[in-house]
Structure 1
Amino acid sequence: MSISPEMGHSHVFLGSDHERNERRIRLVIALTAVMMVVEIGAGTIYGSMALLADGWHMSTHVSAMLISALAYLYARRHAHNARFTFGTGKLGDLAGFASAIVLALIALIMGWESVLRLLDPVAINFREAIAIAVVGLVVNLVSAWLLRDDHGHHHGHSHAHDHGHEHDDDHHHGHSGGRDNNLRSVYVHVIADAMTSVLAIVALLLGSRFGWTFLDPVMGIVGGLVILQWAWSLLRMSGAVLLDFIPQGEDLPEEIREAIETDEDRITDLHVWQVGPGHHAAIVAVATPVSRDPSFYKARLADIHELSHVTVEVTVDKAA
């Protein structure tokens, strides 16, 4: 049986800043890719291993950012595809999860290469290496500024669709900002690269001044450990969304209970999960001694703008 997009309700649960974030990521990819090509080209022409290494290092970040850009594009183009029964809002979390794995691999490679460099030191051209690190830091700071998350606002309205059945669906299209793990993954990549540049500059300055060449690989190990921790945090956040896990501190279920439950009405079953940045769905089963339409209970949830898709089931229970 074919699924028609005309059937049922729209399930567009993209973040309120989806298109803005998509444009910014494309700009950051272009900026990083240009820097990558320049470094690889200059390293090849002038025989600089430092330039080549940094260029190929930036290519890994470009690859990870491409995952995020494609996720934004695919989610937007298929937002109205009815086969995505809860929309494409979680594609960003899937991309963030994949990007976190790439970030963790980069951190492990950094640590391994640094250990090898400690065991087998090589001569360092401090002036050239410092110049590369400074230019890389500037590029990453510009990219971080472009990716800044400044959507800490919430705006929206709700639309109730009442069908007069004992269970009913409601769509509150209150496009609140929410946490965009796809954007966050790209931001973490950029910040990780910036931190690596800062550590490299410090190590190279001290190494050129005091001859402490061992600081360069030591800083690489420190940077790898910090980036690994960031990757783990991103994996946990994006993985929680993919598994419909309600994290500690998320008070949405409690808000729903406070809005619905009274001396007469009680919730017998409650499921809440995120379907996109700033968008949550909920299935609420209510037992009540008085026969009421589901729209009665959904009206109590109208002020909870994080709820974009609500299904209410009402059971008349004289013992409730």
Structure 2
Amino acid sequence: MSLDSEIDALTHNHVYLGKRHDENARRTLWVVLLTAVMMVAEIAAGIAFNSMALLADGFHMATHAGALGIAALAYRYAKRHATSGRYSFGTGKVGDLAGFASALVLGIVAIGIAWESVARLLDPSPVEFGEATIVAVVGLAVNIVSALLLGHGHDHGHDHAGHDHHHHERDNNMRSAYLHVIADALTSVLAIAALLGGRYLGWTWLDPAMGVAGAIVIALWSWSLMRDTASVLLDATDTELEAEIRTLVEGPGDAKILDLHVWRVGPAAHSAIVSVTGAARATIGERLRPVHEIEHLTIEIR
């Protein structure tokens, strides 16, 4: 084997995109189209029928369309620049950046919806319940179809033979889109309940009250996604994977880990730097071979 061939065999790329990257990108585009159409219908109907619950659902769907648009762009950007040498560990975390941006915008929108809903509670105005209910039901149907489209690509887990670690391929870009649809479906249900209560029971206060409830749901979802994506963007360690590495390396008793860094570089890919004393590099590499989550491993012998 020539020197060039040996070098080629040892080099590797830094493409850490999820296995379902292309499929998830296509599903997201379909949901963007569905959502954009329904968003316009719900906002227009909310204004025409003077329903805060319907407007809240429509504006949430508007942010949902925007977030899905960001998700679609993130998939495209990550794929296009996956092999670029500009990014040390590839573009596997672009989706987490998009998810964080989406969560941040949703948090702001939740505050806006809550503010307007409280204002409607203090100063009620008439609502055309029948027409608004029909639009809300159609919106819920769109949410259900969108959830079915995105659900196939959401948070699939699998086990690896050879060790006990149960690893999930967590695509936070897809997760942001999926949770957005689920939260949107919930606000649609709240809107329908409010409109029916107002029409048949005379509870006009229920419409803005459900607007407040929807805002709280959106805010909670936003915080959850913001927390998880920020953790990835800040290279938080995977404690379960770190514990597994320590067990495999130090288990036989002839090696000691002096320094260990484990962080996520893609939906199903981690990078690790292991500083060890007491054993050879080849020995440590062999012990860590079963840990398939580690796509980029650096072993330092001291």
Same fold (TM over 0.5): yes
C-alpha deviations, 1:143-186, integer Å up to 9, x for none? 01111126333579xxxxxxxxxxxxxxxxxxx75111111111
Residues 103 and 189, structure 1, Cα contact 8 Å, conserved in 2: no
- Aligned position for 1:271: 261
Query: Does 1:258 pair with 2:247?
Result: yes
Residues 147 and 183, structure 1, Cα contact 8 Å, conserved in 2: yes
Inter-partner Cα distance in structure 2 for 1:78 and 1:193: 32
Residues 17 and 177, structure 1, Cα contact 8 Å, conserved in 2: no
Matches within 5 A, 1:133-152: 133-148=136-151, 149=154, 151-152=156-157
- Aligned position for 2:134: 131
Inter-partner Cα distance in structure 2 for 1:305 and 1:256: 11
Inter-partner Cα distance in structure 2 for 1:280 and 1:56: 37
Secondary structure (helix, strand or coil) at the match of 1:147 reads helix
Inter-partner Cα distance in structure 1 for 2:242 and 2:42: 51
How much is the aligned-residue C-alpha RMSD, in angstroms?
A: 2.4
How many Å apart are 1:295 and its aligned residue? 2.5
Secondary structure (helix, strand or coil) at the match of 2:272 reads strand
TM (norm. structure 1) is 0.82
Inter-partner Cα distance in structure 2 for 1:212 and 1:313: 68
Residues 155 and 170, structure 2, Cα contact 8 Å, conserved in 1: no
Query: Does 1:214 pair with 2:217?
Result: no
How many Å apart are 1:192 and its aligned residue? 1.6
Q: In structure 2, what residue type is equivalent to 1:184?
A: R
TM (norm. structure 2) is 0.87
- Structure that is richer in helix per residue: 2
How many Å apart are 1:240 and its aligned residue? 0.3
Matches within 5 A, 1:156-305: 178-246=169-237, 250-261=239-250, 262-288=252-278, 292=280, 294-305=281-292
- Aligned position for 1:80: 83
CA 147–59 in structure 1, closer or farther in 2 if over 3 Å, else same: same
CA 43–99 in structure 1, closer or farther in 2 if over 3 Å, else same: closer
Inter-partner Cα distance in structure 2 for 1:96 and 1:57: 16
Secondary structure (helix, strand or coil) at the match of 1:269 reads strand
Uncovered stretches (5+) of structure 1, i.e. residues with no partner: 1-5, 157-175, 316-320
Residues 101 and 231, structure 1, Cα contact 8 Å, conserved in 2: yes
Inter-partner Cα distance in structure 2 for 1:107 and 1:309: 39
Same amino acid, percent of matched pairs: 55
**How many residue pairs align between the two structures?**
285
Uncovered stretches (5+) of structure 2, i.e. residues with no partner: 1-7, 162-166
Inter-partner Cα distance in structure 2 for 1:280 and 1:227: 30
C-alpha deviations, 1:96-139, integer Å up to 9, x for none? 10010111122111111100111111110010110111010000
